[in-house]
């Protein structure tokens, strides 16, 4: 007599559909069976059919379109070349890092500037920027989109001692983005540090990035240093993990 525990019917069906999606048998953009069709095809209850759809949504492989149904998600990932995106040649060409890497991949980039304001930053920012207690920063809050949908949320913190009354306090600091502006102010980018972790999105992040239940995000803290080893900025990226790939090319000596 077998002692193997059988999976719930909803899980069996969801796993079958998941395998079909991952193998390509159900291609991106394919309309999935409706709950009524699942009931008829698998002889299950409407409640079980609802669980099947909920389980698939939790994988991030499918998405609901209001009034149309549930579709296999189109997953065209943006490759973020950490070793190349801050290269001086992009600034000299008048392109900021995000726009240069998106356009290099044949896609359309857009940036929404949500706010530019002076604030007293949270303690973790103050510590990483080596600022004295009570020091202010300029926080630039942006939403980065590719082909019309948001893929990254970015808060950039710049010491007020650097940004005060400069183009860094304007919505568009000029060709080449903030790093070109830094260099015009005498701060040459010489070194970067990035901290990367995966986590589940907070409610507001999930809403802004339109992520499905169960889809994680990548949390990236980027710190830039100038020729005097002074931290110039801290950029906190929140990226859809299913829409972004991070690549790093590291020295070995």
pTM: 0.74
Task: Output the pLDDT for position 90.
Answer: 65
Close Cβ partners of 167 (under 8 Å, ≥ 6 residues apart): 173, 174, 181, 184
Task: Output the pLDDT for position 58.
Answer: 77
- 28 within 8 A of 75, measured Cβ to Cβ: yes
Task: Output the pLDDT for position 167.
Answer: 95
* Higher-pLDDT residue of 186, 76: 186
pLDDT tens, position by position, 65-123: 888 888 887 766 777 766 666 667 766 666 777 777 787 778 888 889 999 999 999 99
Task: Output the pLDDT for position 233.
Answer: 96
Distance CA 127, CA 123 (A): 6
Distance CA 32, CA 224 (A): 46
* Higher-pLDDT residue of 86, 185: 185
| Beta-sheet strands, E only, within 88-166 | 109-119, 137-146, 149-159
Task: Output the pLDDT for position 4.
Answer: 60
Q: 143 falls in which pLDDT band (50, 70, 90)?
A: very high
Structure tokens at 21: 């999606």
What value does the CA radius of gyration of the chain take, rounded to a whole number of Å?
23
* Higher-pLDDT residue of 103, 49: 49
Helices (H) and strands (E) in the chain, counts: 9, 10
Residue 61 DSSP label: S
Task: Output the pLDDT for position 1.
Answer: 47
- Average pLDDT over the chain reads 87
- 158 within 8 A of 140, measured Cβ to Cβ: yes
Q: 218 falls in which pLDDT band (50, 70, 90)?
A: very high
Q: Does the pLDDT at position 245 exceed 90?
A: no
Task: Output the pLDDT for position 251.
Answer: 72
Close Cβ partners of 143 (under 8 Å, ≥ 6 residues apart): 111, 112, 114, 150, 152, 153, 154, 208
Close Cβ partners of 144 (under 8 Å, ≥ 6 residues apart): 98, 109, 110, 111, 150, 151, 152, 153, 154
Q: 210 falls in which pLDDT band (50, 70, 90)?
A: confident
Task: Output the pLDDT for position 112.
Answer: 92
* Higher-pLDDT residue of 50, 82: 50
Per DSSP, helices labelled H in the chain are: 9-23, 35-42, 46-59, 88-92, 97-104, 123-128, 160-163, 177-184, 203-209
Q: How many CB atoms sit inside 10 A of residue 194's CB?
A: 13
Q: 177 falls in which pLDDT band (50, 70, 90)?
A: confident
* Higher-pLDDT residue of 249, 3: 249
Percent of the chain with pLDDT over 70: 92
Residue 175 exposure: Cα atoms within 13 Å on the Cβ side:
7
User: Residues 33-56: what's their mean pLDDT?
Assistant: 91
Structure tokens at 154: 């970015």
């Amino acid at each position: 007599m077998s002692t193997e525990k059988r999976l719930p019917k909803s899980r069996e069906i969801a796993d079958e559909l998941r395998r079909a999606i991952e193998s390509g048998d159900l291609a991106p953009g394919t309309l999935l069976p409706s709950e009524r069709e699942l009931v008829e095809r698998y002889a299950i209850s409407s409640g079980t059919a609802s669980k099947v759809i909920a389980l698939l949504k939790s994988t991030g492989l499918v998405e609901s379109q209001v009034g149309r149904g549930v579709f296999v998600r189109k997953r065209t990932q943006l490759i973020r070349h950490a070793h190349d995106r801050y290269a001086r040649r992009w600034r000299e060409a008048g392109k900021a890092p995000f726009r240069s890497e998106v356009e290099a991949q044949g896609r359309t980039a857009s940036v929404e500037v949500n706010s530019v304001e002076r604030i007293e930053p949270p303690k973790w920012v103050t510590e990483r920027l080596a600022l004295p207690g009570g020091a202010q920063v300029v926080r630039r809050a942006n939403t980065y989109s590719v082909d019309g949908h948001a893929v990254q949320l970015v808060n950039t913190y710049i010491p007020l001692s650097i940004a005060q009354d400069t183009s860094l306090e304007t919505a568009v600091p000029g060709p080449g983005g903030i790093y070109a502006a830094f260099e015009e102010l005498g701060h040459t980018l010489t070194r970067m540090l990035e901290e990367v972790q995966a986590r589940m999105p907070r409610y507001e992040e999930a809403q802004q990035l339109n992520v499905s239940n169960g889809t994680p995000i990548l949390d990236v803290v980027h710190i830039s240093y100038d020729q005097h080893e002074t931290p110039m900025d801290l950029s906190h990226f929140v990226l859809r993990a299913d829409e972004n790939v991070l690549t790093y090319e590291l020295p070995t000596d």
